[in-house]
Chain A
């Protein structure tokens, strides 16, 4: 199907550029590492205190690095009039949105997996039982972040106050996702079964569906210059 192929070629292009330049991934990994140190330093050596805020810290880390990754979604397109090229390419523009989304998801999940591994190492926690549930929560949460972030990145790409406006618009919109993921992660860390957080999972799923649908339907209007 042509739509899927067009979306995939956008993702392919972004990931290929990323693999060659390695700009985003390296910077994000380094940033996440720094965050871990900052958290540890800011909160002190008290293990008990750290253990209780760990889920929150994890998702702050995810959201902050996600913020950086998502803000850069259309950076490439600002050169050589490529944005114009995307707009003038015939066909449904929402395929471009989904392609960009897919590329962002790959990068974000890669960073999140590494950050999670580092968390386990640094803070010495055992989450082996919770892993499948965690994977689901992280998956749903990341989609929720990327669906809005990719759209807002397109919106702010042309504005002078891009770096300021993007976080200001993005963060309040993501409050439901933040709450859902942190609460669910907290429960999973404590060893609770997935069924105990099913309401949060449903909320995350609802958010994902709403954000993705809105993104698909409105991306065209954002791309139009």
Chain B
């Protein structure tokens, strides 16, 4: 069963009252694979991510992480996912080290000696380990969030516009870090708004329009222009 996708979305629908945001979405992401999810504002990308992250429930259909249902086995799913959203899950008045200690302990683990320092070193934050996060830039907070994620050794990473607000150096670093996650066998689902560099790490590109996946194709061979063209085509066709 190693071939089973780590993320499996089957005919997923989500309505908010009368407004149907997702209407029969199906998507798979395998081990070591990264899928970039594109779509217009309000297309439902974040909603899909939230369902996978067990933050909200679908109205119909199934979402599974590593074979566990996101609704009925939420706790097992939470043990396996890492979430990088807009907020970095940081407490401004705590130091980087204290933040990591908190989240790791809350997750039920005791940090091994030197483990936290090593995690900070990996994201190039070991020099500011004892500084309060209030003094960090957006990029540094994002890196801290990734260190936090990495500590939990997730099998699936759900990222909501992870490159947003990062300077070119930080973006390059993030690409490398995400590649490392892929090499470790994690499945990545990136929600993104733009067609830039971040598509570089994606193995497949999916476009969400009209509540469903309008396009799901390997990225290899697609130039950024192609993607942009396809995106425009599909989002224009959407009702």
Contact = CB atoms under 8 A, between A and B. Distances in A.
Direct contact of A and B (CB under 8 A): yes
Interface of A: 2, 5-6, 9-10, 12-13, 16-17, 20-21, 76, 79-82, 84-91, 96, 225
A77 to B, nearest CB: 9
A192 to B, nearest CB: 45
A89 B103 contact: yes
Nearest to B104: A9
Contacts of A82: 87, 89-91
Given A5-B110, A9-B101, 19 more contacts: A6-B105, A13-B94, A13-B98, A13-B102, A16-B93, A17-B94, A20-B132, A79-B87, A80-B87, A80-B89, A80-B90, A81-B87, A84-B83, A87-B55, A88-B54, A89-B106, A90-B108, A91-B107, A96-B106
Given A9-B105, A88-B78, A225 B55 contact: yes
B108 A91 contact: yes
Contacts of A91: 75, 106-108
Interface of B: 53-56, 75, 78-79, 81, 83, 85-94, 98, 101-103, 105-108, 110, 132, 141
Contacts of B132: 20
A13 B91 contact: yes
A20 B93 contact: yes
Nearest to A225: B55
Identify the 7 closest CB pairs spanning chains A and B, nearest first.
A81-B87, A85-B89, A80-B87, A9-B105, A90-B79, A89-B106, A17-B93
7 contacts: A5-B110, A9-B101, A12-B102, A17-B93, A85-B103, A90-B107, A90-B108
Nearest to B145: A80
Contacts of A80: 87-92, 141
Contacts of A79: 87, 92
Nearest to A81: B87
